[in-house]
Structure 1
C-alpha cells in the first residue's frame, strides 16, 4: 500500500497525499459549508479510487490476488495517510552491543542542554538524569551478573557496593563508546568532550535503593506496559520506539532510541 501511495503521489496526486474528505470548522453559511464539504468528499472518493487502482496493480505485479486488500482498507489508509510513520525497532542485543550501540545518541542524552552528563542536582539539564539512570540500571544488571545480587541488597552496607558499582557504570559507558570518569559531589559540572561523568550522588542513590520496587512506580510502569500492549493488539497509535526511562524523582520520562 505504501508503494501504491507513492505511485499516486507521482501521478494523480501531483506530489500531494490523498484528501481526507473532511473539513475543519469554519465561518460560513450552512449552504456554503455543505457545498465545500461535498466537494471535499467527491475529491476524496476520486483519490481513494485512484489509490485502489494502484493497489491492484501492485498486487498484480507481486502475484497476489487483486482482492486481498479490501476497498474499506484502502479508504481507511487514504484517510489517515498524513499520519503514517515508519518505526524501526532495534533488538536489545543491538542496543547493548559495543559495535551496534548508537553512542552519539547516548552521549547527546547524557549531555543534554550542555550539562555535565550524569549529574544530580539543581543545575542538572532536563533529561540528562534520565539517561544517567539508564546507564546505572545497566550497571546494576552487570553488578548482579558478577555478584548474584543487586547493589545495596538487604544485610549489606550500600557504601561497600559503591566501588564495584562505579566500575560497572564506567564499563557500560566505555563499551557504549561514550567514556566515563568518576565525579565527586563537590566537583565542577563540566566534563571533557566525548566523555560522561558518573555522579557519586546517583551512584549512592542506586546502591541505597537496594533494588527496591515502590508500589507507585511499579503501578506506573505496569500501566505503561499495558498501554503499549494495547497499541500492538489493537494496531492503533504508535508504540514507543526505544527504551523508556521513568525518573520518579524528577517526574520525567525519556525514550532513548539506542
Structure 2
C-alpha cells in the first residue's frame, strides 16, 4: 500500500487553476522532490495535502484512507507533518517550549491535574520534556533549549521547525524549502540531517526545494511542475537534461553539461 496516493488533484482560485490534474504516488521510505519554477503550484500541493486548502477536484489517499478535504488537525493526527517556506515559530518563546507545545494534544492529564500539580501531571511533564530534549539533541539544538526562538541563527530556526514537525510523530514529512537562504556548507549539513531523520524515524519525505544540488544528491525521484501541472517525473539523472524541464527553468535551447 502506498503511503500517499494523489489522483486528478486540481485547485482553482476563481478562474486561475493553481494545480491542474496533479497525480503522485509515494512509497514507504522514499525521499521525493517536488520542484519547478516559482509559481508552479508546489506549495499549493502541500496546502492541499495538509488540509489548508480543499481541492476543487481529485482525491488524496493516505495509507489507504481518503483524507481529501479533512481539516488540518485531523490530517496531522493521522501522521502527516510539514514545515513552511516562511518559518513559523513562537518567536518569543523558548526553543524548548516551541517543541513542547506540539505535544499538547497527546498529554495524559486534565485541568484538575494541571491546577494541583498532581503526580500524573508531574510524570507527563517529565515525559514531554525528556522527549523534547531528545529531539533537540538530534537536531543539535539541546544547548539552546532555554533561548528564545527569535535569537537563533536562521539555520537553527529551520532545524527547530523540523523538530516541531517531528514532535507530531509523523509517518509522512513535507519539507517546504528546508535549505532556503542557506550557504553551501549549511545546505550540506541539511542534506545530512534529512537523511539522518529519515532513517531514525522511518519517514517518507516529500520536499520542495530550489537548491538543485540538494535535490539531485538527496532525492530518489523528482516530480517537476510548471503552471500547475506535472511536466516531468523521473530520477535526478533523468531530469537533469530533460529538455522540457530545462525550458521551464531556463528557456529554450539550454543544455547542461
Q: TM-score range by the shorter chain?
A: under 0.3
Relative contact order, higher structure (CA 8 A, sep 6+): 2
The structure richer in helix per residue is 1
Scaled by the length of structure 1, the TM-score of the pair is 0.24
Using structure 2 for the length normalisation, give the TM-score. 0.25
- Which has the larger Rg? 1
Q: Which is richer in strand?
A: 2
